[in-house]
Amino acid sequence: MKTNRVHYQKLQVNGLNVFYREAGPVDGPVVLLLHGYPTSSHMYRNLIPILAEKYHVFAPDLIGFGNSDAPHYKSFDYTFDNLTKYVQGFIDQLGLERFVVQVFDYGAPVGFRLAVANPTKITGIITQNGNAYVEGLSDGWNPIQKYWADPSEQNRNNLRVLSTAESTQWQYFTGVSDKSLIAPESYLLDQFFLDRSENEEIQLDLFKDYASNVALYPTFHQYFRDSQVPLLAVWGDKDPFFLPAGAEAFRKDLPDAIVKLYDTGHFALETHVDEIGEAILTFLDTLPR
């Protein structure tokens, strides 16, 4: 029986190493945590022990992020379909038959793809600033949308600023009233991985492919309507990228969705992990085992 101590492991999926954090009772209900840009499973470091008292928690690093393998962008297709393929292989190899998926930022389009492909496996969805509606896209997406419309070298180069240390710290601090709550190792670790050789190109490829996620929004909405999957949205309402309207929009297709807004920014777990953790535990207690 594992305790709520965290175990750091790797699993080979389709020839690549996927790093993951695991904690909690092995016979407990499973919760899969999917991180976003530009972070890794490290973003869940404070939430995992809260959940692991009762739940069997898995938090992988996406390919190209954190401690998972990051093949060269010219030899690997950095698309959200391909990232999802490796998470699918991860859950298949671990034999995860029923689980709740928690998503954030990039983890949302990956998690929603998984849900569409595995509807009988998903017992619930928790989305923390993980968007699925155009209403949730702020003006901060305008330069990226310009790149979707015209994938020129100039428009690609214009997005390089998003991988700088200043931009990474800005993502953590924007919308946060008490910046002393932000652990510096969070954005410093993210930047360490962003600064790896050629990693910026990986991120630019994913910025370009994010258009595929917006194109899939109607498919995600149809899944929500058909499944009526239980959903909890916990949202930093000062997020510069994903607006609170994106959280409220889930109720269009899931009338029973629970939406909770918090006075903070994009990385809400950095400042409100206790409140969000409590909301998640309350939600999880209502789900079928």
How far, in Å, CA of 206 to CA of 237, rounded? 25
- Report the candidate in 268, 198, 258, 213 with the shortest Cα–Cα distance to residue 236: 268
For 174-196, letters b (16+ CB in 10 Å) and e give bbbeeeeebeeebbebbbebbee
* DSSP helix/strand/coil, 24: coil
- Report the candidate in 28, 111, 11 with the shortest Cα–Cα distance to residue 287: 28
Q: Which helix (H) or strand (E) holds 23?
A: strand 16-23
How far, in Å, CA of 242 to CA of 139, rounded? 9
Catalytic entry in 35, 42, 266, 272: 266
Sign of the alpha-carbon dihedral angle for 87, 92, 93, 99: positive
CA torsion angle for 68, 99, 131, 64 (degrees, to 10)? 10
User: Is 56 a known active-site residue?
Assistant: no
How far, in Å, CA of 154 to CA of 186, rounded? 31
How far, in Å, CA of 61 to CA of 29, rounded? 21
Catalytic positions: 266
